[in-house]
Structure 1
Amino acid sequence: MHRFSFFFFFSMLMMNATHSQRLVAFEGQAQGTYYIVKYLSDDTATLQPAVEQLFTDIDHSLSLWDPHSLINQFNNNDRGVPMDAHMRYVLEKSLAVSAQTNGAFDITVKPLVDLWGFGVVRHQRKPTTDSIRKALRVTGYKLLQLKGDSLLKRKPGVQIDCNGVAQGYTTDCVARLLEQRGIQHYLVDVGGELRAKGVNAKGKPWSVGVERPSGNTSLPAQSLVYLKNNAVATSGNYRRFFDEGKTRYAHTINPQTGIALHSNVISVTVVADDCITADAFDNALILWGPVKGLQFIRQHPGLHLAACYIFTDKAGKTQEVFTEGFFDK
């Protein structure tokens, strides 16, 4: 069979398969944000109860807002805790990305996050240099140790904050649940971190809009990214921040300096094979900025990353720059 004929035949089979299925969609609130799940299935019975139970299970492991969670048990003692499956996966991934980014991504930033008022207890004031210096003494991913089934501290006072990857991980977990139920066409969105597989009800790839800030008339308000069995996550300084004088401090903390992000970068959107990877790397990429960030992606093709930066130039005009093929990823 000619290549074109085979592709046409395969496409027709795909469209017939998806057209025989119905779109199932539901949404709700979880992890302090929204979630939306859409999928194609012959069985129209909702999987929302199973998805919400999954959110609860992950919160029991990784939520800083659950006083009895496993992560809070770790943070509140001087040695460590036995890990469950959720914590182990997130810790292994986080430590790997920390090594790959030379510590630009680091989940031991919790003391610094709390100092800057972006933790469970919120405030809007710049911490003192001395308090930052003290927090840095217990910051650093190398102060964590995975030993057997346990997560251990190499120094008392080390605390972790997995919020930089938790929603991406949760998105992947929901996607995995859907696939375990035999679903091959879906879109999962947890607070703006998304993962997709297959096609939508029209037989086309799932599309995601990348928002552009208002005030730039040279660019359309939104561009579409088509997800083809991959995921997307965004980090931006427009979500959680405070202004002090003429400086805007955003919730992303540099784990090496202890300083909250204050740069001309508005956001970075990252596409990766899975959502926890996109969610982890967007933290490092926004700290690095477009020049170093895009260079890193070019130098590490095996990571399968693509990114789009939106930033303001010296004239105050909104600009964007992205890896080749970002909108075709």
Structure 2
Amino acid sequence: MKMILLFLMSVCTVAAAQAQEQPLKLVAFEGKAQGTYYIVKYLAPDTASLQGRIDSVFAVIDQSLSLYKPGSLINQFNASGDVKMDEHMRNVVDKAMYASKATNGIFDITVKPLVYLWGFGVTKPSFRGVPPADSIKKALSYVGYRYLSVKGDHLTTTKKGVQIDCNGIAQGYTVDVLGRFLEQQGIRNYLVDVGGELCAKGVNQQGKSWRIGIERPAPGDTTYEPIQAMVELKNMGIATSGNYRRFFDQGRTRFAHTIDPVTGVALHNQIISVTVIAKDCFTADAFDNPLILMGVEKGLKFIAQHPAYGLEALYIYKAADGSIKEAYSKGFSQYFFVP
């Protein structure tokens, strides 16, 4: 009996070694979700696609956090001011409150009334332009993360009429959830991209860190293209906030969809984009909007003064002479890919 057991153990050991030696193949697919695109790439012993199961993960998260989905938990809260959260909504709300406190309210998911006032909500506006000052003041009276109360798995508001919009953080969260799903399938090397928010783990098919291009506007400011430099990511998340995808121009001023919850005014500085790298995409996405609202000088100072957040950022902005400039935090340069 002992000899048989030893033989079986040796067979299992050989089989495990052979499985580990199987060459990994690149599997890649893309689709539409959360009002944008998604791309998933990973290395696996076979080319069986997990896209159907990935789509199911999106569906579950949308049932929690999508403003587009009737009956979602977030829409239930916005209708009544009270909801029993699932795990996804609880995670996002907790992270949002954390980011709000860290930035003194520059990040705030109760910004929804302002988002709609400026014409950037989920419904197509009949008019998009700078709202009257009194309308901004009225909308601001319903904005403030301190109006939210979390007790156990219940989210309530202490002020009637307060509503939330998690679009500024939900995609980063989704990216990390998809990454964890892949890991549960035994996948250790992958890249997940949801609307430009990404996480990268392990290596690509060449056995090197995943390489990602950072967008910048092309001439005319209506499209975008990768900058000459790229970044290499391994076990990190990256998120970008910019003014070149959803915006309107009024006079000579461009107003982007990122709304300052403190002033009630849409982003209209000379910053084109800020790209944030952090330990995970959830964290990067939580801070990219606050950093673009802070501006280059204050944003870089914030990162330097708060190393515990683990943030690095690259700003692309328009200088006074119209030229495109870049500025980045001290640790960002370590991620640049140099051929």
Flag whether TM exceeds 0.5 (same fold). Answer: yes
Q: Aligned to 1:185, which of 172, 182, 189?
A: 189
Choose 1 or 2 for highest CA Rg.
2
Report the residue type matching 2:92 in the other structure.
Answer: V
CA distance in structure 2 between the partners assigned to 1:48 and 1:145 by the alignment? 37
After superposition, where does 1:43-62 map in structure 2 within 5 Å? 43-62=46-65
Q: Which residue of 2 aligns with 1:10?
A: none
Is 1:243 matched with 2:241? no
* Range with bigger deviation, 182-191 or 123-132: 123-132
CA distance in structure 2 between the partners assigned to 1:19 and 1:311 by the alignment? 47
Q: Which residue of 1 aligns with 2:104?
A: 102
Is 1:207 matched with 2:211? yes
Is 1:38 matched with 2:41? yes
CA distance in structure 1 between the partners assigned to 2:123 and 2:218 by the alignment? 31
CA distance in structure 1 between the partners assigned to 2:214 and 2:194 by the alignment? 15
CA distance in structure 2 between the partners assigned to 1:184 and 1:83 by the alignment? 30
The TM-score, its normalising length taken from structure 1, stands at 0.91
Structure 1 segments unaligned to the other structure (5+ residues):
1-15
CA gap 1:327/1:211 in 2 versus in 1, 3 angstroms: farther
* Range with bigger deviation, 308-317 or 121-130: 121-130
CA distance in structure 2 between the partners assigned to 1:293 and 1:136 by the alignment? 24
CA distance in structure 1 between the partners assigned to 2:204 and 2:29 by the alignment? 15
Deviation digits for residues 272-299 of structure 1 (CA, Å, limit 9, x no counterpart): 1111111110010000011000111111
Report the residue type matching 1:291 in the other structure.
Answer: E
Are 1:252 and 1:261, in contact at CA under 8 Å, matched by a contact in 2?
yes
1:222 deviation in Å? 2.8
Structure 2 segments unaligned to the other structure (5+ residues):
1-18, 221-225
1:325 deviation in Å? 3.5
Aligned residues between the structures: 310
Q: Which residue of 1 aligns with 2:12?
A: none
1:327 deviation in Å? 3.8
Are 1:18 and 1:201, in contact at CA under 8 Å, matched by a contact in 2?
no
Q: Which residue of 2 aligns with 1:281?
A: 287
CA gap 1:17/1:264 in 2 versus in 1, 3 angstroms: farther
CA distance in structure 2 between the partners assigned to 1:22 and 1:170 by the alignment? 25
Q: Which ranges of 4 or more aligned residues in structure 1 deviate by more than 2 Å?
A: 16-19, 211-216
Q: Percent identity?
A: 60
The TM-score, its normalising length taken from structure 2, stands at 0.89
After superposition, where does 1:16-35 map in structure 2 within 5 Å? 20-35=23-38
Q: Which residue of 1 aligns with 2:145?
A: 141
Report the residue type matching 2:156 in the other structure.
Answer: L
CA distance in structure 1 between the partners assigned to 2:121 and 2:85 by the alignment? 23
Instruction: Provide the alpha-carbon RMSD of the alignment.
Output: 1.6
Deviation digits for residues 201-252 of structure 1 (CA, Å, limit 9, x no counterpart): 1000001001233359xxx933211111001110000010011122211000
Is 1:301 matched with 2:313? no
CA distance in structure 2 between the partners assigned to 1:234 and 1:316 by the alignment? 22
Is 1:65 matched with 2:60? no
Are 1:241 and 1:251, in contact at CA under 8 Å, matched by a contact in 2?
yes
CA distance in structure 2 between the partners assigned to 1:316 and 1:45 by the alignment? 49
